[in-house]
Structure 1
Amino acid sequence: MSNYSIKDLEHLSGIKAHTLRIWEQRYNFIEPKRTDTNIRYYSDEDLKLILNISTLKENGYKISKIAKMSEAELNSEVLKIAETNLRFPDQINSLTLSMIDMDEDRFEKILSNNIIKYGFERTMLNIIYPFLSKIGMLWQTGSILPAQEHFISNLIRQKLTVAIDGQFVTDKESKGKWLLYLPEGELHELSLMFAAFLLRVRKYKVIYLGQSLPKEDLYTVKEVHNPDFVLTMSAVAPKKAELQEYVNEVAELFSSATLFVGGYQVIGQDIKRKKNVEFIMKIEDLIDFLEEKEMGNATVHQSTNEMKYH
């Protein structure tokens, strides 16, 4: 069982800590436990209850009515909302509940319903990414169990793998070649996998090398593939000087390519960049770059056609 602070509940549900304390006193929704040192904490059951209440409130239910519902009635109403009203906050709450209970059936239903309505890319951007962002802090602080983290990460990884495999790009139709990898010691590759999907959908060839690639291996890869673009990410915390040296070396190695570097550590350490280096603050930055490139190519194509007729 995981333990949560009231700030964790606020972060995950969107309900202010002050409001939660009022509800504790007025409606007796939840009763926090206390550690040996008298610090308040909440259980998985408390979090599930608050997420359900948050979903009902966001869908117009009055708190006085919610307070009169039994646990079974409350769960029933939330399930109806999750299945019929595909608002993104509701779906994120449902994903959090499926993670807490390690409920694969619920996860599958949530993802399938949203992919049918919005497509895989929008589902990732509007539901999976905000969900991962919400619970990311809890992973780092140990508020949730490693088993819960592994459960949900592996389910998302399976979805990404299937989506990527469904977007094969031949050399003939490729708009360019991208090399994707994580540096040695970097293991969280869900963002990198989603980037691979985004690139393949847009008809780019992707050389995907995955997590924890030794720097020395890049020299061999350069000789074999010589990509047009390179994308890597850093989430662990190397010293700034080490990260700066690494970015400089990779930029020099792939001097004829554009190197895209993302991840929390790059953003937070004010890394200097060479002319062929671009920083990605969020996955939408990559999408913006690809769209701008597509528009640029379309403009060039149009100009070429106009010249032919003059």
Structure 2
Amino acid sequence: MSVYSIKDLEHLSGIKAHTIRIWEQRYDLFSPQRTATNIRFYNEQDLKLILNIASLKNHGHKISKIVAMPQNLLEEEVKRVGFGSKSYEDQISALTLAMIDLDEEVFNFTLDQCTEKLGFEQAMMNIIYPFMRKIGILWLTNSINPAQEHFISHLVRQKLIAATDLAEVNKNGPLCLLFLPEGELHELGLLFANYLLRAKGARTIFFGQSVPLDALEEVYHKLNPNYVLTAMTTAPEPSEVQTFVKRLGNKFKNSTVYITGSKVIGQSLKLSDNVRVMNQFEDLAELTRGVKEYSS
């Protein structure tokens, strides 16, 4: 079973740690265990409770009324107020609960409802991406069971591939190659970029995880793409990032190269004239504007 710090509860629920401590003392909400150094930690049931409380609080329920509800009524009320809700936070909480319970049906239902209301692109930008960012932080701090993270990543991956398959291919659009460097396995962001580019009128070739740069260079000269896009979150090693970025600029000098990920965002890197850093998903708008101008 996964365990969470009080900061994890704050991070996932949006309720300040100080407030959680007050509620814990005033209403006897939790019975947290403690580490050998006397630091509180919480279990999955505690996380589910604080997420449910946050959801009802966001809909105007008073904390004194919430804590008086029996568990079954609390969960029913959360479902009632959450069904049809337009709040992004409500949807993110629902996805988090589905992750905790490994409930594929609830996850798919929630995401399908979001997609129906917002469209796939906006559902990804406003719900799935913030959700995965929260989960990613928990994964990096070992607060979440890796099986839960893989479970959710697999479901999101399926949705992205299905949506990309439905996007009409523009045979006259600019060509974009997408790949992850050797050792890099986190592909969801790049899969979303692949979907978005294709939906906006680009032709895309997705090479996936852990691609050797020399192997990619061989096909690059055959394809002559307009854009190359890659992401670096766990690879290459910090001492090798600058060299790798320089190689990208040199090997793909006839294309505009977009790079993103924690290895490059906010770093002091020397970039070739043809290399751009994307700081967030919203920066894909710059690339897709270029696609639209190229296609028109």
TM norm structure 1: 0.92
Structure 2 Cα separation of the partners of residues 149 and 26 of structure 1: 33
Of 177, 182, 192, which aligns to 1:179?
Answer: 177
Of 252, 255, 265, which aligns to 1:257?
Answer: 255
Structure 2 Cα separation of the partners of residues 170 and 5 of structure 1: 48
Cα deviation digits, residues 83-113 of structure 1 (max 9, x gap): 1213101000111110011111110110111
Q: Once structures 1 and 2 are overlaid, which stretch shifts more, 244-253 or 275-284?
A: 244-253
Q: Once structures 1 and 2 are overlaid, which stretch shifts more, 218-227 or 88-97?
A: 218-227
Matching residue's letter, 1:251: G
User: What corresponds to 1:206 in structure 2?
Assistant: 204
Aligned-residue sequence identity (percent) comes to: 50
Kept in 2: contact 1:3–1:42 (CA 8 A): yes
Structure 1 Cα separation of the partners of residues 40 and 272 of structure 2: 49
Matching residue's letter, 2:248: V
| Runs of 4 or more consecutive aligned structure 1 residues displaced over 2 Å after TM superposition | 35-39, 237-241, 291-294
User: What corresponds to 1:266 in structure 2?
Assistant: 264
Partner of 1:15, secondary structure, is: coil
Cα deviation digits, residues 215-257 of structure 1 (max 9, x gap): 1112211122111100001001544441111111121111111
Q: Once structures 1 and 2 are overlaid, which stretch shifts more, 254-263 or 79-88?
A: 79-88
Does residue 220 (structure 1) correspond to residue 218 (structure 2)? The answer is: yes
Matching residue's letter, 2:104: E
Q: Once structures 1 and 2 are overlaid, which stretch shifts more, 138-147 or 262-271?
A: 262-271
Does residue 83 (structure 1) correspond to residue 66 (structure 2)? The answer is: no
Kept in 1: contact 2:4–2:43 (CA 8 A): yes
Structure 1 Cα separation of the partners of residues 168 and 294 of structure 2: 22
Q: Which has the higher contact order (CA 8 A, sep 6+)?
A: 2
Structure 1 Cα separation of the partners of residues 93 and 11 of structure 2: 12
Structure 1 Cα separation of the partners of residues 288 and 10 of structure 2: 36
User: What corresponds to 1:145 in structure 2?
Assistant: 145
Structure 2 Cα separation of the partners of residues 25 and 6 of structure 1: 14
- The alpha carbon displacement at 1:292 in A equals 5.7
- The alpha carbon displacement at 1:135 in A equals 1.7
Partner of 1:267, secondary structure, is: coil
User: What corresponds to 2:187 in structure 1?
Assistant: 189
Q: Once structures 1 and 2 are overlaid, which stretch shifts more, 82-91 or 118-127?
A: 82-91
Does residue 48 (structure 1) correspond to residue 48 (structure 2)? The answer is: yes
Larger Rg: 1
Does residue 242 (structure 1) correspond to residue 245 (structure 2)? The answer is: no
Task: Flag structure 2 segments of 5+ consecutive residues without an equivalent.
Answer: none
Cα separation, partners in 2 of 1:184 and 1:237, compared to 1, 3 Å: closer
Kept in 2: contact 1:3–1:143 (CA 8 A): yes
Q: Once structures 1 and 2 are overlaid, which stretch shifts more, 5-14 or 229-238?
A: 229-238
Kept in 2: contact 1:240–1:269 (CA 8 A): no
Structure 1 Cα separation of the partners of residues 179 and 237 of structure 2: 20
Kept in 1: contact 2:182–2:235 (CA 8 A): no
